[in-house]
Structure 1
Amino acid sequence: MSVSRTTDPDLIGLDPARLARIDDHFGRYVDDGRLAGWQIVVTRRGEIAHSSTYGTRDVETGAPVVEDTLWRIYSMTKPVTSVAAMMLWEEGRFELTDEVSRWLPEFADMRVYSKGSVLKPYTVPATEPIRIWHLLTHTAGLTYGFMQTSVVDGLYRAAGYELAPPPGVDLAGATTVFGEFPLLFQPGTAWGYSVATDVLGRLVEVVSGQRLDAFFADRILRPLGMTDTRWHVGEEEAERLSALHVPDPRTGRAVRHDRLGALVREEPTLLSGGAGLISTAADYHRFTQMLLRGGELEGVRLLGPRTVRFMTRNHLPGGRDLEDLSVGGFAESTFAGVGFGLGFAVITDPVPSRVPSSVGEYYWGGMASTAFWIDPVEEVTALLFAQLIPSSTWPLRPQLRQLVYSALVD
């Protein structure tokens, strides 16, 4: 499957010379060692206007980035899980206002952190049950152990849930443990980036009667022709896998991080609906085109167009943005002028972020510096793949937006 350019950019309102600035700019990140390599794809009106690779997928071996390089997409798994859940919603299997405890009883009678320490937290009863829409919008009060900004995420770390789960724990087991932790805030009152999408993946399993990997394969990946998207990388495909990198604390240059990077070489016990997939640019391109086209690609319809439009509206309480409602720190998003829908960040006002975009654009990214966005107004999609943790090391995402939007000339 190819992600080569399919049309002359001039024919779809993009200036080729301005698009060339993308490679010039991001090439400098590789040339000075800040990134090992990258892959970028830009489309408009369903046509690929720009597709490029640069650098290496492994700074130690020098193996180049190629068109079918395998990338850990981490939190870009979340939109896939959200689509899976909304496919079940379209079948009438649940309502978004349903209590999660109807299917996952471990989330009944939740308590919320009030004060105290990791060793002695004090909690109060939740005044509102966790509902399915809370999981889709990260307003459930769950968190991540790697945040390191609250007592609650300290409880996750103390139980072994940080960047990776404890050995041998499956999705059902992890979800049970998450239900034992106090919530960071009362459900529906704030926004906190969290394991909510892992819980949503478990909900998909219980409602559908299938393991999450089977549901993805049967209902999303095979129908869309996403033949390279997977949960781990076997020996036969290992040479296509990019190494994972981190910045050297002294020089800022990308160096390999094998301890975390090697985890994808083994079949996972825990199928993380929030962070578990490995994919290619060609595969994720197909996923974004399905969304841009209102839930359908090449005669295969996963969602109705009204469902996609509903998912990509701001669902935060009171129509507020992340600047008002975010707690807990880290996220794959800027905050000002950004709301959150059912699985995606949504631009409500592009001015506060000082980066051009359209109202209604939606997007997300992964912690190893991967990202995508979909602009239904301009009919633009963009994909960025690299393998550098953390994603906040360099301002890759806003810079790609600058370069793409300044190339639109019609």
Structure 2
Amino acid sequence: MSPEAAGLSSSRLQYLDRYVQQRYVDMGRLPCAMTLIERRGEVAHFSVQGQMDLERTRPLQQDTIFRIYSMTKPITSVALMMLVEEGLIALDDPVHRYIPQWRNLGVYEAGFMETFRTRPTKAPMRIVDLLRHTSGLTYGLQQRTNVDAAYRRFGFGDPAGTGTLEAMIEGLAKIPLEASPGDVWNYSVSTDVLGYLVGKISGIPFEEFLLQRIFAPLGMVDTDFSVPASKASRLASCYVLAPDGRMKLQDDAQTSRFLQPPAFISGGGGLVSTAADYLRFCRMLLNGGSLDGARLLSPKTIELMTANHLPGGKELPDMSVSLFSEASYSGVGFGLGFAVTTDPARTLIPGSQGDFSWGGMASTYFWIDPREQLIVIFMTQLIPSTIYNLRRELRTLVYSAFT
């Protein structure tokens, strides 16, 4: 479909590409940039810029495989909601029903490790708390508290770690919560816990559940927790921003840990994928839970997932204590696996009420705007994702191309 047939301006989209190329790729701020825009069911724009491997000057390709990190979370959330639809688990179930060793988890008050002092929670952690990040769990990378430090000490939630998902579940039984469930929004290992629950409740390994129930039905042929040898040449290298402001190689595509199956199966950040694969996942969501005859969820479940579930209808800035997350704007709440725009005017950027989104640590990003029948997927490989305002700029540039 031409941009004009999709209600978009070709010249404005060319400006978007020039903006990204000149401001980010040419200036050495990003190694590469892939922008895929679909509207009204057809791809209207697909640009590929920069290098997938700077060291070997290998140009980015449309089928390049990326580390999508936290863009894994919406996929894991869909998997859990499939079990909810089957009546095998409910959103208001206490988590300790499935993880009994967590029954007596307390909230941190003072101390460290063997001297932790805790108080009882105000309410039990529920499944919905895991989906919306109000569980009281945290990430070691937050670097805010002694609880964060304990996570770092044991490597909990680290996809590059040598521990297993089951070992993390056992270890978390010995560490307090940062807050009582429902009190604050804190970006955390909650979605990794969801992956554990999917495996336990379904009776098959979590990674097999994703393959059999999501990836195969949707035709997501390049999405997995590792890259097989036959596809290794398509894996991009990943970079990190060094203190001097330059990009430094963080994970070489030719020696990447993603070339081998991981010990830790991370539902929170372990997947690799392509823009084409992730587009099929997004199409399923936009289409009310089905794609090409394969139905994963009902339209009512998608409607539930993309509503704001923060207690009292609050927004993320009202509840967030995170030093790191993939969203930070006013006018944005959180659903069951996604950030959700609740008030476009308060975000101060174009969008629609009810559009939903998330991103990954290596600066990947997607959003879906049901009102405009719009899907946008942006792929690159630079850690961390919080350095530039590119996501905000992308939203402005994409909506400015509407005619």
TM more than 0.5: yes
Distance in 2 (CA, whole Å) between partners of 1:16 and 1:306 is 35
Q: Contact 2:9 / 2:402 at 8 angstroms: preserved in 1?
A: yes
Q: Normalized against structure 2, the TM-score is what?
A: 0.96
Distance in 2 (alpha carbons) for counterparts of 1:309 and 1:384 = 24
Deviation at 1:234, TM superposition (A): 2.7
Q: Describe how 1:202-217 pairs up with structure 2 within 5 A.
A: 202-217=196-211
Equivalent pair of 1:76/1:366 in contact (CA under 8 Å): yes
Paired residues of 1:109 and 1:129 also in contact (CA < 8 A): no
**Secondary structure of the corresponding residue to residue 126 of structure 1:** coil
The question of 1:234 aligning with 2:228 is answered yes
From 161, 166, 174, the counterpart of 2:156: 161
The residue type paired with residue 221 of structure 2 is: T
Aligned partner of 1:67 in structure 2 is: 62
Q: Bigger shift: 229-238 or 270-279? A: 229-238
Structure 2 counterpart of 1:319, from 313, 318, 328: 313
How far residue 164 of structure 1 moved from its aligned partner, in angstroms, is 4.0
Instruction: Measure how far apart 1:162 and its partner are.
Output: 6.4
Aligned-pair identity (%): 47
1:152 matched to 2:178: no
Q: Equivalent of 2:286, from 273, 292, 301?
A: 292
Q: Which residue of 2 aligns with 1:124?
A: 119
Partner of 2:59, secondary structure, is coil
Q: Which of 179, 182, 185 is the equivalent residue of 2:176?
A: 182
- Is 2:80 the partner of 1:51? no
Paired residue secondary structure (1:21): helix
Residue 155 of structure 1 deviates from its aligned partner by 1.1
Deviations 1:332-351 (CA, angstroms, capped at 9, x unpaired) = 00231110000000001122
Q: 1:370 aligned to 2:349?
A: no
What is the alpha-carbon root mean square deviation over aligned residues? 1.5
Matched residue type, 1:186? S
Could you tell me which of 320, 331, 344 is aligned with 1:350? 344
Deviation of the 1:303 alpha carbon: 0.5
Secondary structure in structure 2 of the residue aligned to 1:226: coil
1:42 to 37, 57, 76: 37
1:19 Cα deviation after fit? 1.2
Measured against aligned partners, the alpha-carbon deviations of 1:206-235 in whole angstroms (never above 9, x if no partner) come to: 110010110001000000000010111133
Determine the C-alpha separation between the residues in 1 that align with 2:203 and 2:112.
39
Query: How much does 1:46 deviate?
Result: 1.1
Query: SS of the residue aligned with 2:199?
Result: helix
CA contact (8 A) 2:157 2:266 kept: no
Specify which of 68, 74, 82 is matched with residue 77 of structure 2.
Answer: 82
Structure 1 residues 318 and 287: alpha-carbon distance in aligned structure 2, compared to 1, 3 A threshold = same
AA at the equivalent of 2:246? R
Q: What displacement does 1:396 show?
A: 1.5
Choose from 93, 103, 108 the match for 1:108: 103
Q: Which runs of 5+ in 1 are unaligned?
A: 1-6
Tell me what 2:299 maps to: 305
Q: Which residue number in structure 2 is paired with residue 3 of structure 1?
A: none
Inter-partner Cα distance in structure 2 for 1:43 and 1:328? 32
Q: Contact 1:35 / 1:253 at 8 angstroms: preserved in 2? A: no
Q: CA deviation at 1:45?
A: 1.1
Aligned partner of 2:248 in structure 1 is 255
Match of 2:117, SS state, is strand
- After superposition, what is the alpha-carbon deviation per residue over 1:360-380, rounded to whole angstroms, capped at 9, x for unaligned? 010000000000000011111
Structure 1 distance, partners of 2:387, 2:158, is 17
| Contact 1:118-1:154 at 8 Å conserved across structures | no
* Distance across 2 between alignment mates of 1:338 and 1:372: 15
Q: Counterparts of 1:77 and 1:162 in 2: how far apart (Å)?
A: 13
CA apart distance, 1:205: 0.6
Q: Which moved more, 1:393-402 or 1:307-316?
A: 393-402
Report how far residue 127 of structure 1 moved. Answer: 2.3
Q: 1:113 to 1:281 in 2, by over 3 A?
A: same
| TM-score, normalization by structure 1 | 0.95
SS of 2:53's partner is: coil
**One-letter identity of the residue aligned with 1:92:** G
Q: 1:110 deviation in Å?
A: 1.0
Q: Are the counterparts in 2 of residues 357 and 401 from structure 1 also a CA contact under 8 Å?
A: yes
The whole-number CA distance in structure 1 between the counterparts of 2:90 and 2:251 is: 42
